[in-house]
Amino acid sequence: MIIKGKVWKYGNDINTDVIFPGKYTYTVTDPKEMAKIALEDLDPEFAKNVQKGDVIVGGTNFGCGSSREQAASCLLYAGVGAVIAKTFARIYFRNCINFGLPALTSAEAVDALEHGESIEIDTEKGEICCKAGVFSFPPLPKEIVGIFDAGGLIPYTKKQLGLE
C-alpha cells in the first residue's frame, strides 16, 4: 500500500483524551461526526484541514491513556493514512491494528519529519520517503500481520470462524 499525504506533527505522550475526548465516547458514534472531533483538544485546526492520506507524527508513547478505540478509528474516519511515532502505548497500538490503521515505529523518521511536509509511505517495502531521505520501519510480527492484512480484527475473526 502507498500512502501519500502531508505531515501533522505533534509531541510526546499524545493521550487518547486529546485525540477523542472522553465526553464523546458514548454520544458521538457516527463516523462522519467522529472525524469532525478528531484531535479536538490537541489541535482544533486538524479536523477542519486534514486531507485523505495525511500522516500524524508523534513522539514517544503515542495514544497513552484510555483504551477507547475511537482514538484510532476517528483518525481513520478523518482520512489519516498512517500514524508514525517513536513508540506507541500498547492498547492504542492494538486498536490501530484492529482497525487497519498503519501504526509505524521509526524514531529517526519522527526526528526528521517536519510539520506540513509531504511524504510517501510504502507499507510493503517498509519505507518512509520524505525531504530528509528514506527511513525504514519494522514490519508487524508474523502472528498479527494477518489481522492487519484482513482489514482489521473483525474481518479477520470472520475469516477465523469461516464466516466469510
Partner 1 sequence: MGRTFTEKILGRKTGKDVVPGEIIEVEPDIAMSHDNTAAISKTFYKIGVDKVYDPKKHVIILDHCTPAANEKFAQNHKDIREFVKKQGIENFYDINVGICHQVMHEKGHVWPGALIVGSDSHTTSYGAFGAFSAGIGRSEMAAIMARGKIWLRVPETIKVVVEGEFPPGVSAKDLMLKIAGEIGADGALYKAIEFCGPTIDAMSVASRFVLTNMAVEIGAKAGYMIPNAETLEYLRGRVKTPFEIVESDRDAIYEAEYKFDVSVLEPMIAKPHTVDNVVPVAEVKGTKIDQVFFGSCTNARVEDFEVVTNVLRGKRVHPDVRMLVFPASAEVYIEVLKKGWITDLAEAGCVIMNPGCGPCMGNHEGVPADGEVTLATSNRNFKGRLGNKESFVYLVSPMTAAVSALTGKIEDFRE
Query: Taking the CB of residue 107, how many other CB atoms lie within 10 A of it?
Result: 15
Question: What is the DSSP annotation of 76-125?
Answer: HHTT--EEEES-B-HHHHHHHHHHT--EEE-HHHHHH--TT-EEEEETTT
Contact 31, 77 (CB under 8 A): yes
By the rule CB under 8 A, 17 interacts with partner 1: yes
Q: What does residue 109 show for φ and ψ, rounded to 5 degrees?
A: -65, -45
Which one among 7, 10, 83, 98 touches partner 1, defined by CB under 8 A?
Answer: 98
By the rule CB under 8 A, 152 interacts with partner 1: yes
63 vs 81, which CB is nearer to partner 1?
A: 63
Alpha-carbon distance of 37 to 55, in angstroms, equals 17
5 vs 20, which CB is nearer to partner 1?
A: 20
Which one among 4, 31, 60, 107 touches partner 1, defined by CB under 8 A?
Answer: 60
Cβ 70 to partner 1 shortest distance, Å = 9
Catalog residues that contact partner 1 under the rule CB under 8 A. 12-13, 15, 17-18, 21-23, 25-27, 29, 40-42, 60-61, 64-69, 72, 87, 89-91, 94-95, 98-99, 141, 143-144, 152-154, 157-158, 160-161, 163
